[in-house]
A and B are shown apart, each in its own frame.
Chain A
Amino acid sequence: MIATQEGGAGFGYAVDSLAAWLSGSPAPGGVPIAIAIVVCWILPLLFCVFPLASLGQILERKIAAAIQRREGPNSAGLDGPLRLAFRIVLFWRPRDAQDRAFARFCEVRVVNTVLRVGRRLGLGQLVADGVKMLGKEDIVPAGTDGLVFRLAPYLALVGAFLPFCVIPFTHHLVMLESGTSTLFAIACAGITVLALKMAGWGSGSKWSLLGGMRAVAQLVSYEIPVGLAVAGVVLWCGTLDLHAITAQQYHPGVLSLLGWNALQNPFLLLLAGILFFAGLAECQRTPFDMAEAESELVSGFNTEYSGLRWGMFALAEYAEMVLVGALLVTLFFGSYQSPVGEEWIVGLPVWLETILHAGCFGAKVIAVFLTMMWIRWTLPRLRVDQVMRLCWLQLVPLCLVSLFGIALVMLAAGGAAPGPAYGRLPSRPRVDLGIVGHLVAWAVPLALGALLVRAARKKYGQLHPALLELTAEKAAGGAR
Chain B
Amino acid sequence: MILAWIDDLWNGATTFVTGMRTTGRFLLENLRGEGGASSITRQYPEQPAETIGDRQRGHLHNDAARCIVCHACDRVCPVDCFKMEGERDENNKIHCSRFDIDLSKCIYCGLCVRACPTDSLSMTNAFELDPRRDGARFLFPRSSGQLDVRFEESDVERLQRLSRTPRTELSAEDRTWLDGRIDPTGPHLIGMYGLGYYAPEEKARVDAEREARKKAKDAATKAEAAAKAAAAPAPPPPASEGAPKT
Residues of A within 8 A of B (CB): 63, 65-71, 74, 374-375, 377-379, 393-394, 397-398, 452-453, 455-457, 459-461, 467, 471, 474, 478
Size bracket, chain B contacts:
20 to 34
Q: Any chain A CB within 8 A of the CB of B186?
A: no
Please name 5 further chain A to chain B contacts, defined as beta carbons within 8 Å, in addition to the given A66-B30, A69-B35, A378-B23, sorted by A numbering.
A65-B30, A69-B29, A453-B10, A456-B4, A460-B3
Q: Any chain A CB within 8 A of the CB of B184?
A: no
How far is it, in angstroms, between the C-alpha of A379 and the C-alpha of B19 when the chains are bound? Answer: 7
Task: Contact check, B37 vs A66: say whether CB atoms are below 8 A apart.
Answer: yes
The one of A70, A374, A398, A452 that contacts B23, using a Cβ cutoff of 8 Å: A374
Instruction: Known A456-B4, A459-B7, A460-B4; judge A69-B37 contact (CB<8 A).
Output: yes
Task: Contact check, A452 vs B246: say whether CB atoms are below 8 A apart.
Answer: no
The one of A63, A377, A456, A474 that contacts B6, using a Cβ cutoff of 8 Å: A456
Q: Which residue of A is nearest B31, CB measured? A: A66
Instruction: Known A374-B27, A379-B19; judge A69-B6 contact (CB<8 A).
Output: no
Instruction: Known A455-B3, A456-B3, A457-B10; judge A69-B23 contact (CB<8 A).
Output: no
Contact bitstring B3-41, A, C-beta under 8 A = 1, else 0: 111111111100010011011101101110001110011
How far is it, in angstroms, between the C-alpha of A393 and the C-alpha of B41 when the chains are bound? Answer: 42
Q: Which residue of B is nearest A468, CB measured? A: B246
Task: Contact check, A65 vs B20: say whether CB atoms are below 8 A apart.
Answer: no
- Which residues of A are found within 8 Å of B12, using beta-carbon distances? 394
Q: Which residue of B is nearest A462, CB measured? A: B7
How far is it, in angstroms, between the C-alpha of A309 and the C-alpha of B19 when the chains are bound? Answer: 35
Task: Contact check, B240 vs A478: say whether CB atoms are below 8 A apart.
Answer: yes
How far is it, in angstroms, between the C-alpha of A374 and the C-alpha of B30 when the chains are bound? Answer: 14
The one of B7, B20, B40 that contacts A375, using a Cβ cutoff of 8 Å: B20
The one of B3, B41, B243 that contacts A71, using a Cβ cutoff of 8 Å: B41
CB distance from B130 to the nearest CB of A (A): 14
Q: Any chain A CB within 8 A of the CB of B43?
A: yes
Task: Contact check, B7 vs A69: say whether CB atoms are below 8 A apart.
Answer: no
Task: Contact check, B36 vs A453: say whether CB atoms are below 8 A apart.
Answer: no
A sample of 17 cross-chain residue pairs with beta-carbon separation below 8 angstroms, ordered by A number, consists of A65-B30, A66-B30, A66-B37, A67-B27, A70-B41, A74-B43, A378-B23, A379-B16, A394-B5, A394-B9, A398-B9, A452-B3, A452-B6, A457-B7, A457-B10, A460-B3, A467-B246
Instruction: Known A66-B26, A455-B3, A456-B3; judge A374-B20 contact (CB<8 A).
Output: yes
Contact bitstring B184-210, A, C-beta under 8 A = 1, else 0: 000000000000000000000000000
Instruction: Known A66-B36, A375-B20; judge A471-B246 contact (CB<8 A).
Output: yes
- Which residues of B are found within 8 Å of A377, using beta-carbon distances? 23
- Which residues of B are found within 8 Å of A394, using beta-carbon distances? 5, 8-9, 12
Q: Which residue of A is nearest B36, CB measured? A: A69
How far is it, in angstroms, between the C-alpha of A394 and the C-alpha of B10 when the chains are bound? Answer: 11
Instruction: Known A394-B8, A453-B6, A459-B7; judge A68-B20 contact (CB<8 A).
Output: no
- Which residues of A are found within 8 Å of B41, using beta-carbon distances? 69-71
Task: Contact check, B3 vs A474: say whether CB atoms are below 8 A apart.
Answer: no
- Which residues of B are found within 8 Å of A459, using beta-carbon distances? 3-4, 7
Q: Which residue of A is nearest B12, CB measured? A: A394
Instruction: Known A378-B19, A456-B4; judge A69-B30 contact (CB<8 A).
Output: yes
Q: Which residue of B is nearest A75, CB measured? A: B45
How far is it, in angstroms, between the C-alpha of A133 and the C-alpha of B37 when the chains are bound? Answer: 29
Task: Contact check, A374 vs B31: say whether CB atoms are below 8 A apart.
Answer: no
- Which residues of A are found within 8 Å of B29, using beta-carbon distances? 69
Contact bitstring B210-246, A, C-beta under 8 A = 1, else 0: 0000000000000000000000000000001001001
**Nearest 7 pairs of A and B residues by beta carbon:** A66-B30, A456-B7, A460-B7, A456-B6, A456-B3, A378-B23, A71-B37
Q: Which residue of A is nearest B26, CB measured? A: A67
Task: Contact check, A69 vs B3: say whether CB atoms are below 8 A apart.
Answer: no
